[in-house]
């Protein structure tokens, strides 16, 4: 038996290309019976390694390369489970205490000695601590031998130089320490050496210079055949070192246990058991809920509560519910909003009465067994949604409650994706920023793009690779590195808790805010038997929270969301119109289209859309809509199932409906019905077939025919396969409805909160500001004397925050706000500059304030302020702290400053605010929009043929594969931006119009790709070429009825797009005719009118 001992995998981030699955598979192919993994300081890969070894029937040996300095390491290998436990402790110690403060050699050695029991301690052949500190090596070895190690060795490797081999042999002889074969493996193939070199250069932010052309250099630290290792060692007379390696491999025996989840014990008051305390809390919680919800029929609630508590206790989950309750109770007591529910937890009455969730499961027909099934032993899973701005507060509370060593967040790894791999390798190979940008532009814009797909789909990528040998090497290297872990970060939601010290169970490291971070990823911590709870920070809950504050402060109303009606007509109208920007789960273009088609008339309809608009069930949407609108009949597979399926028009939308049908018709308990639901969703045909016989038998006992039972079972299989969790759909739709209610009834408060959630995201900012105009809401630009840091609400008007001004430094904004609070409003530009810290007075920063309009209330002429600015700054510099001198130097009133053009004013405003506030170039064409029935860009609907008036911002021209030119125009109106796609045929017609700053009337079809809308242009006209004309027709008092009839004939025969205004002399009034009676502005029309009415009664202007 033999195994290389110093094996560094890709889990030693940016140090190795060795992927664990590939490593173990290759070893199995080469006949290895045991394998070692000994990453540097961390144990990220041990569970993957263990499972891979089991898969290929190889003995896993766990090691750790412990680094004192980058060139001074010790190799530690576990003999047994005690040794493995000590590896966990040492890795954790190195990645926590020793990360904060680097140890000296004595501290490092003491740590190793403390946890040395049942560890083989080996001096690596390369970068050895003992060889670096050679003079102290004998004393160090002597101290280590006094501990309960499994054995101490000096590692040796035939790849070492003669001098290194001699030094190690001499040390072994002097200290009576055995040599051991300790070959290193850092990659799988000799040809992988270059990729590892590049990877390490990425990690060190170094460049290879001209080294890229050494691509074909072969490395030596790869996984060789066992025979080859034996020959290399025996040729140097190191057979004993091989024997020691075989002995170590034979002795090492670690068996990992994967226990059921170990729940921490919740500390209850007065020594109460968890069971009794939970019952007490639930009984009081139910009493409060019954009063608040005005429920008079209470027996079903008490019965359900008793049943749920019995199941929870029998399954051993009392502590779990108390742990989750404690967190939500802290949140409620500290005014932190918790989401109404997530996943199947909303089906639990216990969760509802403990205020863990906020959906009454009995009212909405939600099933406890979908959440916790007594016939299926599985941990309940309660995930909590928290406002993203408050998540850290919850994390700190849990950390404080359970203690530093008993709570941790969960690690997650970022990998080298296609774009990142290309950028990193290009940088290491010395490409310029321009060349790297060229590669970035060549890669297709695609979610989770792979380099293989990029090569297949992009001719530009193929061209770049063909351009030079360097580019070919770059691409092939990036292809090899793609998918390797690049860095670690903290999982967005997961937290683990344990009664035991975590580092006794898993390796940990230090994360952010001095809170521990597991070295195992989220699935692995659960595999290790740890309780994981997800605290997910939701932006929408922050919006909800902030909107309610704006309602309280801006509308002077205190709104209780618990009292709102979930069938509120105004809110339903908003869903019907698809005006759901900012409404949780209903923001995508596709779901808005479904809402418009479905026209929901109840909360149940809204929840159904939420459930249906997902992969799989989305195929049922058309039938659902057709049945709702009476275009298709509502039918049921069995009439008695109507109470279960009526709300969804006979379609099985929810998983709970599968369970209810199985129970009502097949006589299943709800626990058994949940097993059927799982079998259908997992497509477990064996279980489905087995349960079919049970269902049919149960149905027969209830008086149904076999044929009817089989028909219903087939129906369940067909629809249930795509059923969605109703508990989740109802809970999340409730949150969506609350947001939509605020948007409908308190739009200014809603949009102020919404805008604050997208600061820095120009596209969303423009989209939401455009929608605000549709709601006829007032928006005020930033104001030096009234604006806060973020968007605020003043007299139901949304006011830009100073923090929304691009390029403005945060410390300057804070200084302005603090000075204003302490000493009052600013009276002039000079006053503002005089009162601020001189270190903050940069001309570009002050220009940003002026261009954004923040000083308009002080001086409305921005041109004037810009002309004064250099002089005021100069005077400040000359006068120092002398106020009198500063006033004497104040610039005299200038007669005139060079005026900013309207275009420049708007462009600067757009640059600094991300939107147009003072106006927009297209607004002067309101008459044209009215006449042509154009659409605002914010209101574009996919697949619609539309007309719109837009301002051209920039143009990009490309050549097609046929060599023809086509163009992409970035265009805008006051509501938002989009792209015009102009194909070659149209571009030949309209090329002269496609210039920046032109205003165009565009006709075309709306298309959506990757949630981004564009317009495929079919026609366009310069707005300046269209005249604002009207026909004025005066009808004299004596006009005969026959003449009037002839006029109507002309109006119909000469129909056009010029509005017609009739002036009735008899009634002394003007009437604008409907659009179907508008006229063409041509000579034949004018001639027909003047012939009939007389030239003095017909005017076109």
- Residue ranges per domain, the chain? 6-188+223-251, 258-382, 555-741, 760-913, 921-1025, 1031-1100
> Taking 70 as the threshold, does the pLDDT of residue 213 lie above it?
no
Q: Where does residue 605 rank: exposed (0-12), middle (13-18), buried (19+ CB within 10 A)?
A: buried
The confidence band for 834, taking pLDDT boundaries of 50, 70 and 90, is confident
pLDDT tens digits, one per residue of 26-53: 999 999 999 999 999 999 999 999 999 9
> Tell me, what's the pLDDT at 540?
94
Indicate if the pLDDT at residue 938 is higher than 90: no
pTM of the model: 0.85
- Please, which residues have CB within 8 angstroms of residue 793's CB and are 6 or more apart in sequence? 550, 553, 554, 748, 749, 752, 799
Q: Which two tokens stand for residue 455?
A: 């090569």
pLDDT of residue 894: 54
In CATH terms, the fold of domain 760-913 is DNA polymerase; domain 1 (1.10.150)
Is the CATH number 3.40.50.2000 carried by domain 6-188+223-251?
Answer: no
- What's the confidence (pLDDT) of residue 883? 57
CB 7 within 8 A of CB 35: yes
Question: Measuring CA to CA, which residue among 1054, 1046, 1053 is closest to residue 1093?
Answer: 1046
Query: Based on C-alpha coordinates, what's the Rg of the chain?
Result: 37
Q: How far apart are CA 426 and CA 445, in angstroms?
A: 19
- Output the average pLDDT for the chain: 92
Is the Cβ–Cβ distance between 451 and 478 less than 8 Å?
yes
Identify the CA nearest to 425 among candidates 337, 501, 378, 484: 484
Locate 468 and state its tokens: 């030079």
In whole angstroms, give the CA distance from residue 976 to residue 969: 14
Range with the lowest mean pLDDT among 587-596, 816-825, 894-903? 894-903
Contact, 181 vs 242, CB < 8 A? Answer: yes
Tell me the backbone φ, ψ of residue 69, rounded to 5 degrees.
Answer: -135, 165
- 986's CB contacts (< 8 A; 6+ apart) are 1017, 1018, 1019, 1020
Q: How far apart are CA 832 and CA 845, in angstroms?
A: 13
Instruction: Please give the CATH architecture assigned to the domain spanning 921-1025.
Output: Beta Barrel (2.40)
Cα→Cα distances 1024→489, 782, 906, 993, 1018, Å: 55, 33, 19, 11, 19
Q: Whole-angstrom Cα distance, residue 967 to residue 948?
A: 18
- Report pLDDT digits (tens) over 240-297: 999 999 999 999 999 998 988 889 999 999 999 999 999 999 999 999 999 999 999 9
Q: What pLDDT, on the 0 to 100 scale, is given for residue 657?
A: 93
C-alpha span between 322 and 311 (Å, rounded): 15
Task: Note the pLDDT of residue 906.
Answer: 83
Q: Which two tokens stand for residue 497?
A: 């808790």
1016 falls in which pLDDT band (50, 70, 90)?
very high
The label of the residue with tokens 């809401």 reads 777
Return the pLDDT at 402: 94
Q: Answer yes or no: are the C-beta atoms of 229 and 2 closer than 8 Å.
A: yes
- What average pLDDT does range 488-498 have in this prediction? 94
Find the range with the poorest average confidence among 550-559, 831-840, 1059-1068.
1059-1068
Q: Tell whether the model's pLDDT for residue 824 goes beyond 80.
A: yes
Here the tokens at position 633 are 């009949």
- Give the closest residue to 479 by CA, choosing from 451, 456, 453: 451
- What integer is the mean pLDDT of 1082-1094? 90
Sheet holding 797-799, edge to edge: 779-780, 797-799, 792-794
Query: Would you place residue 873 in the very low, low, confident or very high pLDDT band (cuts 50, 70, 90)?
Result: confident
């Amino acid at each position: 038996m033999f195994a290389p001992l110093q094996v560094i995998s890709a889990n030693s981030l940016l140090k190795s290309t060795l992927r664990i699955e590939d490593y173990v598979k290759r070893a199995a192919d080469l006949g290895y019976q045991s394998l070692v993994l000994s990453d540097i300081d961390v144990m990220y890969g041990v569970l993957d390694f263990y499972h891979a070894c089991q898969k290929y029937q190889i003995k896993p040996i766990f090691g750790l390369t412990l680094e004192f300095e980058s060139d001074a390491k010790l190799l530690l290998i576990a003999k047994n489970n005690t040794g493995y436990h000590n590896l966990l402790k040492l890795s954790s110690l190195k990645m926590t205490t020793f990360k904060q403060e680097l140890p000296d050699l004595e501290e490092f050695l003491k740590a190793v000695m403390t946890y040395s029991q049942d560890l083989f301690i080996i001096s690596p052949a390369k970068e050895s601590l003992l060889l670096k500190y050679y003079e102290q090596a004998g004393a160090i070895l002597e101290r280590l031998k006094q501990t309960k190690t499994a054995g101490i060795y000096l590692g040796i490797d035939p790849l070492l130089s003669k001098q290194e081999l001699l030094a190690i042999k001499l040390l072994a002889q002097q200290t009576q320490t055995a040599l051991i074969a300790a070959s290193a493996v850092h990659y799988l193939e000799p040809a992988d050496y270059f990729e590892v070199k590049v990877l390490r250069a990425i990690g060190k932010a170094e460049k290879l210079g001209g080294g890229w052309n050494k691509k074909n250099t072969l490395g030596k630290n790869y996984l060789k055949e066992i025979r080859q290792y034996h020959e290399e060692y025996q040729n140097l007379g190191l057979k004993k070192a091989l024997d020691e390696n075989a002995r170590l491999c034979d002795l090492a025996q670690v068996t990992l246990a994967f226990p059921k989840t170990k729940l921490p014990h919740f500390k209850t008051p007065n020594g109460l058991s968890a069971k009794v305390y939970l019952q007490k809390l639930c009984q009081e919680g139910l009493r409060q809920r019954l009063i608040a919800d005005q429920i008079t029929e209470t027996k079903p609630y008490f019965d359900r509560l008793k049943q749920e508590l019995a199941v929870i206790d029998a399954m051993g989950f009392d502590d779990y519910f108390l742990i989750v309750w404690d967190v939500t109770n802290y949140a409620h007591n500290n005014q932190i909003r918790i989401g109404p529910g997530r996943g199947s937890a909303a089906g639990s009455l216990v969760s509802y009465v403990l205020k863990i969730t906020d959906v009454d499961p009995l009212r909405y027909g939600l099933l406890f067994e979908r959440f916790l099934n007594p016939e299926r032993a599985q941990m309940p899973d309660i995930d909590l949604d928290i406002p993203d701005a408050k998540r850290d507060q919850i994390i700190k509370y849990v950390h404080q409650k359970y203690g530093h060593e008993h709570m941790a967040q969960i690690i997650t790894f970022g990998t080298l994706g296609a774009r990142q791999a290309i950028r990193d390798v290009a940088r290491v190979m010395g490409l310029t920023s321009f060349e790297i940008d060229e590669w970035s532009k060549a890669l297709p814009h695609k979610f989770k793009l792979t380099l293989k797909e990029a090569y297949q789909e992009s001719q530009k990528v193929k061209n770049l690779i063909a351009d030079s040998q360097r580019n070919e090497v770059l691409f092939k290297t990036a292809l090899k590195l793609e998918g390797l872990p690049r860095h670690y970060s903290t999982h967005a939601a997961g937290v683990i808790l344990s009664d035991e010290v975590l580092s006794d169970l898993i390796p940990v490291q230090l994360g952010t805010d001095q809170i521990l971070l597991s070295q195992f990823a989220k699935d692995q911590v659960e595999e290790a038997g740890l309780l994981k709870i997800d605290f997910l920070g939701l932006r929408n809950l922050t919006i909800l929270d902030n909107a309610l504050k704006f309602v309280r402060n801006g509308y002077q109303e205190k709104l209780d969301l618990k009292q709102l009606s979930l069938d509120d007509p105004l809110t339903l109208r908003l869903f019907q119109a698809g005006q759901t920007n900012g409404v949780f789960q209903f923001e995508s273009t596709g779901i808005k289209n479904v809402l418009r088609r479905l026209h929901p008339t109840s909360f149940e309809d809204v929840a159904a859309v939420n459930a249906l608009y997902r992969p799989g069930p989305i195929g049922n949407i058309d039938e659902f809509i057709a049945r709702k609108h009476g275009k298709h009949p509502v039918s049921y597979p069995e009439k008695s199932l109507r109470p279960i399926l009526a709300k969804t028009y006979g379609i099985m939308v929810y998983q709970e409906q599968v369970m209810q049908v199985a129970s009502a018709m097949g006589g299943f308990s709800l626990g058994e019905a949940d097993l059927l639901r799982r079998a259908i969703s997992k497509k477990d045909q064996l279980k489905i077939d087995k349960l079919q016989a049970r269902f049919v038998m149960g149905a027969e006992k209830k008086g149904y025919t076999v044929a009817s039972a089989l028909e219903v079972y087939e129906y369940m299989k067909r629809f249930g396969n795509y059923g969605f969790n109703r508990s989740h759909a109802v809970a999340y739709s409730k949150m969506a409805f609350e947001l939509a209610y605020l948007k409908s009834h308190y739009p200014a408060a809603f949009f102020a909160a919404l805008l604050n959630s997208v600061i820095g995201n120009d596209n969303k900012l423009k989209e939401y500001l455009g929608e605000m105009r549709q709601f006829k809401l007032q928006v005020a630009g930033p104001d030096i004397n009234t604006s806060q840091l973020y968007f605020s609400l003043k007299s139901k008007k949304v006011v830009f925050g100073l923090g929304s001004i691009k390029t403005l430094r945060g410390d300057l904004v804070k200084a302005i706000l603090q000075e204003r609070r302490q000493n009052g409003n600013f009276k002039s530009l000079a006053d503002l500059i005089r009162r601020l810290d001189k270190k903050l007075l940069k001309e570009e920063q002050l220009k940003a304030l002026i261009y954004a309009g923040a000083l308009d209330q002080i001086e409305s002429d921005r041109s004037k302020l810009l002309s004064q600015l250099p002089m005021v700054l100069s005077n400040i510099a000359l006068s120092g702290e002398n106020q009198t001198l500063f006033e004497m130097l104040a610039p005299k009133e200038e007669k005139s400053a060079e005026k900013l053009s309207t275009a420049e004013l708007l462009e600067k405003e757009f640059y600094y605010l991300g939107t147009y506030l003072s106006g927009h170039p297209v607004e002067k064409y309101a008459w044209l929009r009215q006449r042509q029935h154009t659409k605002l860009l914010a209101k574009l609907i996919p697949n619609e043929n539309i007309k719109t008036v837009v301002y051209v911002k920039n143009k990009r021209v490309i050549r097609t594969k046929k060599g023809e030119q086509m163009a992409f125009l970035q265009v805008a109106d006051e509501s938002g931006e989009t792209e015009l796609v102009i194909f070659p045929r149209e571009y030949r017609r309209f090329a002269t119009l496609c210039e920046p700053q032109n205003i165009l009337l565009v006709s075309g079809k709306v298309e959506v790709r990757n949630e981004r809308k564009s317009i495929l242009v079919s026609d366009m006209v310069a707005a300046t070429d269209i005249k604002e004309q009207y026909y004025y027709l005066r009808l004299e008092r004596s006009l005969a009825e026959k003449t009037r009839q002839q006029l109507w004939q002309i109006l119909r025969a000469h129909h056009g797009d010029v509005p017609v205004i009739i002036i009735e002399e008899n009634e002394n009034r003007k009437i604008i005719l409907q659009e179907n009676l508008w006229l063409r502005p041509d000579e034949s029309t004018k001639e027909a009118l003047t012939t009939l009415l007389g030239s003095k009664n017909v005017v076109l202007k």
